[in-house]
Amino acid sequence: MTRSITLRRPDDWHLHLRDGAMLEGVIGDTSRTFARAIIMPNLVPPVVTTADAEAYRGRILAALPQGHHFQPLMTLYLTEHTSPDDVARGKESGLITAVKLYPAGATTNSHGGVRDLAKAMPVLERMAEIGLPLCVHGEVTDPEVDIFDREAVFIERVLEPLRHRLPELKITMEHVTTADGVDYIRNAAKNLAGSITTHHLIINRNAILVGGIRPHYYCLPVAKRESHRLALRKAATSGSPRFFLGTDSAPHVDPLKECACGCAGIYTSINTMNCLAHVFEEEGALEQLEAFASLNGPAWYGLPANEERITLVRRDQPVEFPAKIETGAGPVTVFDPMFPLYWEID
């Protein structure tokens, strides 16, 4: 049995750090392990301009624990009024790594997102020209569409026409949750990749709904049936350069999760690599973990892989994680994979 594995230091290609006391409470769980992360812009108010992104980056760096080396890769929240020139300046200056498309109403703090993609076309055209990737939350918001079908319908109604219209635009389909998404990414000719979260490799929709409603397993896109989870595992462990880690770790304080209308989001920053080593070991693919967590993401975003290494060691006894972390904003429940974790970062 493999007892240890060394890989390049990983990056997280989709992360919610929030702001203020929450940012201070969670950032160490990422910066302890990850060298870089793509930072989601869905703050209240959202990070819309390069000036917003620059200020937010400053707050992130100021919140970093002493001695941690971590590079936040900033994104802009696409609106129907986003200025193509501002976006181009952001890319030019090296501040902006990607622009994020939230269909309005699709998820947490997305009401300022895009209702009519035609209105964002000038920005998207400029991005295609200058090689700035678009990260998409790939779900339609049409109330007629069942929540479990929203990703598949997004591919058909939004993504396919957009890729046809702008074949040079590089698109990351974020937090893919379905076999449909995996197949679509795998079969695309070019300019399409997908990130996969830790939790979607571990839970299916039963985790949310069987034996009582379990809000700490609720996130968006919502976990699907088992066959989709298995397709995601196959994609993540395949070594294909099209798939990489984006945890979508999304902290909400417990009172906002445990109520009549709870927020979507699962907090995995603290135990992601432990969970992933477990999953990749189960799949007999530990040798592919480095591609998924440390190599494919930077290659897609045109960045060098990290030079530093981390070693994961398999312990004889389970590694304990707190059930909750305390932040200045309140307690945040940590993702419970529902099996003991034996892998630990040395």
Which residue, 263 or 286, is less far from Zn ion as judged by CB? 263
Query: Which range of residues in 145-153, 228-236, 243-251, 252-260 is near Zn ion by CB under 5 A?
Result: 243-251
**327 sits near ligand NCD (criterion: CB under 6 A):** no
Which residue, 16 or 170, is less far from ligand NCD as judged by CB? 16
What is the amino acid identity at position 88?
A
**199 sits near ligand NCD (criterion: CB under 6 A):** no
Q: How far is the CB of 283 from ligand NCD (least distance, A)?
A: 24
Alpha carbon separation from 250 to 198, 259, 296, 335 (Å, rounded):
12, 17, 22, 11
**248 sits near Zn ion (criterion: CB under 5 A):** yes
**26 sits near ligand NCD (criterion: CB under 6 A):** no
Q: How far is the CB of 47 from ligand NCD (least distance, A)?
A: 12
**99 sits near ligand NCD (criterion: CB under 6 A):** no
The active-site residue, picked from 248, 316, 336, 346, is 248
One of 31, 107, 195, 296 touching ligand NCD (CB under 6 A): 107
Q: How far is the CB of 249 from Zn ion (least distance, A)?
A: 8
Per-residue contact string for residues 237-266; x = within reach of ligand NCD by CB under 6 A: -----------x-x-------------xx-
Which residue, 8 or 199, is less far from ligand NCD as judged by CB? 199
Q: How far is the CB of 332 from Zn ion (least distance, A)?
A: 15
CB atoms within 10 A of CB 344: 17
Which residue, 49 or 247, is less far from ligand NCD as judged by CB? 247
Q: How far is the CB of 218 from ligand NCD (least distance, A)?
A: 7
Catalytic residues: 248
Using CB under 5 A, list all residues that contact Zn ion. Answer: 248
